[in-house]
Structure 1
Amino acid sequence: MSLGVALAIALSGVVGYTLGDSGDGGGTTTVQITDEIGFGILEEIYAILEEDFVNPEALDPELLKIGAINGILQALGDPHTVYIDPESYELGVDVISGTFQGIGAQVEQDPVTGAIVIVTPFRDSPAENAGVRAGDIVRTVDGESTDGWTVAQAVRRIRGPEGTEVALGIEHSDGSTEDVSITRGTIVIPTVFTPPIEDEAGNPVSDLAYIELQQFTDQAVTDLGEELERIVEEGYGGVILDLRRNPGGGLDATIRTADMFLDDGVIIIEVSREGEESVTSANPGGPATEIPVVLLVGPGSASGSEVLACALRDNDRATLVGEQTFGKGSVNHLRELSDNGALYVTIARWECPNGEQIEAVGIEPDVEIVFTEEDIEADRDVQLFAAIDYMRENLTRAAP
């Protein structure tokens, strides 16, 4: 069971983080608790509040506990280390079944401003159909400001049963604002899509293959491998792999995806809390190690997508077309807690094969193409058009 994937499906009731599931995070925590650092002062403060505070109705023990936990974690300065309450965690595990109820988007917290940011809406989800875009900032939920909220708080307020509505105050990346009413639905967790595509002139594209990969899961790896084998066997001139709606997933699935395109070379460098480096290299024998590749990337490409983009770019196996990626450069795992909740904790940072740091920065594309408002209104995918043109013009040079 990939808990990293469960955490990637934000707004289903769990916190939206990716590239988790390091493989050693299962089981309930059995940490021995001492008071060497003075956490007993919290009990002392609560006792005084019970005796003296002017508004005793505000002394909700559960809310105060959550506030204390979030305060500790926020003091770390790491937006990827979060507490998941029992209700959210239980629903997150249920997501593994393949569907969930919500608006169908992933959120993160901006590590600098603390704003709640849409990493990506899923294809044909209520969020996407309502006009929510990657990079949007959620300023309000049902009229209440999100200032000071954690991702967990935002998720709890936005998620909900199918058929119910939630109102979001959205700030788009161009600074414009919009109030959006979204009817929640049942979301099927996406994996691999291969729709037919057209070039800018409206002609069907038959010489190049197009694959949209929306999650790094075990099933996605299987589906992608089968599709790549078909593409190579049928003699396509190149493949365009679309990661613009891919917030990440399991680390193992990400590495196995990179293996499909690489015969050798470094995929990822993990740097532990002790500063020790662990290098993961490619295994030969993948189905698509020679076919030219263009990766479509953007603000909705996070975590595992950024690992793959770095690995293929730095090993001269792909050209990146689109916009700057999200910028999540951490490896996380899950520790279950005694209250049936969980702690999602950053255990390492990762670097590109060339040593580039991604956290809070992202990856610049080789060919930058930015959507205009006119492109969006006309539903014109100029980034895909650019990828098609680049692939056709550079097939010989791109081939290994």
Structure 2
Amino acid sequence: MRLSAFKPPKKPVKPCLIKAAAFKPAFMIGLLGLSSVSFYAQAAHTATIVANAGSPTASLQLISLKGDEVGPDNGADDLSDIAPIGDESDDWIDETRDITAIDNGVIAPNDAAITPDSNPLVDESDYINTDIPAEVATVSLNAISPETLKTFVAVVDLVRREYVDSVNDEELFSNAMSGMLTKLDSHAEFLDAEAYENLRAFTEGDVGDIGIKVVYQPAVGYWVITDVINNSPADKKGIAIGDYLHQIDEFKLDEDKQSNDIEQLLTGIAGTQVDVITSKAGRRKHTTTLQRNNNHPQTIETRLVDGIAIIKLPAFQNTSRVQILQSLTSLDAPVNGILLDLRDNPGGVLTSAVQVASLFMDDTTVVQIKSRQSELRTLMTRGTAVLKPLPVVILQNRYSASAAEVLASSLQTQKRATIVGEVSYGKGSVQSVIPLNEEQAVKLTVAHYLTATGKKIDRIGVQPDVILSGTEREWEQQALDLLRKQVHTSGLRFVQKDSSDNNLSNNSLENKLKY
């Protein structure tokens, strides 16, 4: 995700006026949640979020699916002109489309927000006006029928009047939007200001979790929460020390899981949501949806073992390519092979996977993207493949997903790397982050990606070339043994050209082949 100036939409956003005169005050205020939502559509190749110096999410750029094939650019080792595509999210592609803004031209006064009800337990249906005004009934809302809209308004009014606790309209409509999106699939969601900012922060280097630590206690036979960070997402939702943790998303927890497994499942792309099932000391279980808003920097761990660089890549971010090069430079020793550990990697920015693939291959197809509204699009490697001479083994597990699967499948298809471990997760969908305004956005699944040869990954995963046995603690050694058989040179040594430059760029490395 790169910074850019705001470009106004080529097509004007047309307001569709919904008059309110025929609505009774009892539910009129419920429509105010729609009053300031604007969808900006742009027919050009890129779309930008409204630039505002005071907004933490200003100047974010998205990439359109409707561009031509991305190809090499005279060998320039630079991918800065490819806007990041985010994932689980994870993949940032803007689908250019025409969306009509809905604006309430007439609003009810503030004092109509609360309607007294002397006897809320008595069914007085004549107080609930579910008639749809003619002005609303004639508005084109595609598949939304007037009857459906009438039912929705009636439910909002019923909750506002009858629910045991008072709830404000902003909360109701926020919940309605979240529910609508999450029912589509597990990756779609409504991003409030905090989640939107955290997602932006993720692309620049942060990852997030929900702010808890857990330990398996054999005496009770459960994973028990031992620490809850103050004011973290978990703390705000009432999760406490001593609670049992039973499940994270679709993964049920038992004694066979390792602490690292739990940590990786709870940690992911900052701003994304995760469902956890907990209970109070084994009593009634309940599900809580949390956003990974407890942010902390991601670090790429790199170490050298017998001339082989072991690179642990937790997620794909805008900085991943440069961090890999920096970490290889910091080794200050010849490297004769790369073991890229993608275990527990949930994905991230898709173009980051393309950038990392460009370290190993030149002018090569990485992934194909297919949306409902555009032709099949191909993303290719670009620039100088500085790691091309080195043999590569990629280590994956069942939690390796999305952009991690893009990289693994690409190098596997081109016979550039040996994939070892177990079958990966199988997340082959592309999410676009579409801004609603300066502080809110929708993360929506807009496409599927396929391997370079057109094979499907979604719900299938990447099949390893070599299935490893034993526990995951033993996999690294097995992978190293396989890689050693492929080493044929004394390696590459990476040095930084300008030691005074603390910000290493893609073009500021000199690599020297040592024989």
Counterpart for residue 140 of structure 1: 277
User: Kindly tell me: are residues 130 and 145 of structure 1, through their superposed partners in 2, closer, same or farther at Cα, counting changes over 3 Å?
Assistant: farther
Pair member with larger Rg: 2
- Shift of the alpha carbon at 1:319? 0.5
Counterpart CA distance in 2 for 1:248 and 1:328 is 9
Residue 345 of structure 2 corresponds to residue 210 of structure 1: no
Alpha-carbon deviations, 1:143-195, whole Å to 9, x = none?
47456xxxxx6224xx57xxxxxxxxxxxxxxxxxxxxxxxxx6532142113
Match of 2:144 among 38, 49, 66: 38
What is the alpha-carbon distance in structure 2 between the residues aligned to residue 262 and residue 229 of structure 1? 20
CA–CA distance in 2 between the matches of 1:206 and 1:315?
27
Among residues 293, 318, 324, which one is paired with 2:417 in the alignment? 318
Q: Give 1:65's match in structure 2, choosing from 166, 169, 173.
A: 173
Q: Taking structure 1 as reference, are residues 69 and 55 closer, same or farther at Cα in structure 2, changes over 3 Å only? A: same
SS at structure 1 position matched to 2:319:
helix
Distance change >3 Å, CA 130–CA 220, structure 1 → 2 = closer
Aligned to 1:223: 323
In the alignment of these two chains, the number of paired residues is: 321
- For 1:1-400, list aligned pairs within 5 A: 1=1, 17-22=88-93, 24=94, 31-33=100-102, 34-38=140-144, 41=147, 44-45=150-151, 47-49=153-155, 50=157, 55-57=162-164, 60=167, 61-62=169-170, 64-76=172-184, 78-93=185-200, 98=205, 102-103=210-211, 116-117=249-250, 132=262, 140-141=277-278, 143=280, 145=285, 154-156=289-291, 187-195=295-303, 205-228=305-328, 234-274=333-373, 276-283=375-382, 285-338=384-437, 340-372=439-471, 381-395=473-487
State the Cα distance separating 1:244 from its structure 2 match: 0.9
Identity percentage of aligned residues = 25
**1:81-114 Cα shifts (integer Å, max 9, x gaps):** 2222344334544556755673389xxxxxxxx9
> Is the contact made by 2:265 and 2:344 (CA closer than 8 Å) also made in structure 1?
no
Asked whether the equivalents of residues 204 and 319 of structure 2 are also in contact (C-alpha less than 8 Å), the reply is no
Name 2:36's counterpart in structure 1.
Answer: none
TM-score (norm 2): 0.53
Shift of the 283–333 alpha-carbon distance from structure 1 to 2, 3 Å rule, reads: same
On the 8 A contact 2:87/2:431 being kept in 1, the answer is no
Higher helix share: 1
SS of structure 2 residue aligned to 1:280: strand
Deviation at residue 289 of structure 1 after TM alignment: 0.7
CA drift of 1:290 comes to 1.6
Query: Residues of 2 paired with 1:130 and 1:226: CA distance?
Result: 26
- Bigger shift: 289-298 or 210-219? 210-219
**Structure 2 CA distance, aligned partners of 1:339 and 1:209?**
42
Deviations 1:223-253 (A, max 9, x none): 212445677x944331101111322222222
Contact 2:303 2:309 in 1 (8 A): no
Give the aligned residue type for 2:262. Answer: V
The superposition leaves residues 339-360 of structure 1 with CA deviations (integer Å, 9 ceiling, x where unpaired) of 9432101222111112221112
SS of residue paired to 1:333: strand
- Unaligned 5+ runs, structure 1: 5-14, 106-113, 120-126, 148-152, 161-185, 197-204, 376-380
SS at 1:356 equivalent: coil
Change (3 A) 1:131 1:312: closer
Q: Which amino acid aligns with 1:69?
A: M
Q: Secondary structure at the match of 2:480?
A: helix
| Equivalent residue letter for 2:143 | I
Whole-angstrom CA distance in 2 between matches of 1:54 and 1:190: 47
